[in-house]
Copies of this chain bind each other. A is one copy, B any other.
C-alpha cells in the first residue's frame, strides 16, 4: 500500500473511531466514514469532513439515533418503504440503495422510499452503487430551506438535488447529480467557514439583496437555476422525497448545523431499473450515444466534451494519489471529537 493510501486509511480509521465513540456500530461507522472520505476524494468538500462535527453534535443531542432499528416494509416485490428510525443519513441511504438494487434485480424495477432519515451526503455516491450493478437509477432527496419558491421572498425548498445514473459500458459511470440551486449549499458553508467570498448572482441576503458574503447568503436565500423552472423542479423533489415518503416537507426539514430542536426526518426516493428491459444491446447503444456527442465540433478551448460524472471520476483518481487536505478548523474538530 502506498504512503498516501496508508494516510487516507489512517484518517478513515480515526473517523470510524470517532463514530464508534459516539455510539455507532462498527458497520455503521464504516459506512459513514467511507461516505465522508469519498466526498473528500471527489472534491465535494462541503459534504466531507467539514460535516463530521455536525453529525457528532446531533448524535450527542439525541437527534441522530446511533443505534437505529431500521424497518424495511415490503410493499411489493418491486416496492419497499424504509423507516430509518432517525439513523445517520449515510446508513439509511446505504440500506435503501441496496434494497432498490435487490428489487430491480428481481423484478426489473425497484422503488424504495425512506422516511426518518437525515443528510446523506452525495446522491451520486449511492447512484454509483446501482450503476456498478448495471442498473439505471434516479434518486431524490430534500434538504433544509435554502431556495425561495418562484414569487416568494422566503426560502422553503432545499437545494433538492436531482440525480440520475446509468452504466456507460466503460468504467466511468454517467452520474448526473445536480442541485437545483445555482450553487451547492455545502460550498457556501465551506466559504463561510473559511471567510471566502461566493460568486455573484447565486444568492440573496435576508433582506432580498444580492450578496457575495457566504455568511449573509446562509441567512438569506439561494437562487434556483432558471427561475420558475428550477423552482418547479425543486418543488417536484420536495413532493417525491417528502410528501410521498412520509418524510418532512414544505420547509420542515431542519438545518443540521443550526437547528437542534428535533431530528431532520429527511425523506429520500430511489428508483432503479434494468438497462436491458426494452433493448438487448443497451451497452452498444449507450456507447454509441456518448461517442456521437463527444465527436461534435467543440467550443474554442474545450478539449473534450465530458459527460456528467466524468469530471468527478477524474478528480477522484487524482485526489486518491494525494493526501487529503484537512483545514485547521477540521483538524481541531478531529482532535476535539477524539478526546
Contacts and interface: CB of A to CB of B under 8 A. Distances in A.
B152 A293 contact: yes
A152 B296 contact: yes
Interface stretch (A53-61, A87-95, A243-251, A330-338): A243-251
A159 interface: no
Interface residues of A, number: 69
B245 A278 contact: yes
Contacts of A192: none
A170 interface: no
Interface of A: 75-76, 78-79, 81, 107-109, 111, 113, 115, 136, 148-154, 156, 162, 164, 166, 174, 176, 178, 182, 225-226, 229-230, 232-233, 235-236, 238-240, 242-246, 249-251, 271, 273, 275, 277-279, 282, 285-286, 288-289, 292-293, 296-299, 302, 304-308
Contacts of A306: 151
A272 B302 CA distance: 40
B75 A277 contact: yes
A148 to B, nearest CB: 7
Contacts of A166: 239
A294 to B, nearest CB: 9
Contacts of A271: 271
B107 A282 contact: no
A150 B244 contact: no
Nearest to A301: B151
A185 to B, nearest CB: 15
Nearest to A286: B243
Contacts of A296: 148-149, 152-154, 156
Contacts of A308: 232, 235-236
13 contacts: A76-B107, A78-B107, A78-B109, A81-B278, A151-B298, A151-B306, A152-B302, A156-B296, A164-B236, A235-B293, A239-B289, A244-B278, A251-B292
Contacts of A151: 298-299, 302, 304-306
Contacts of A152: 293, 296-299, 302, 305
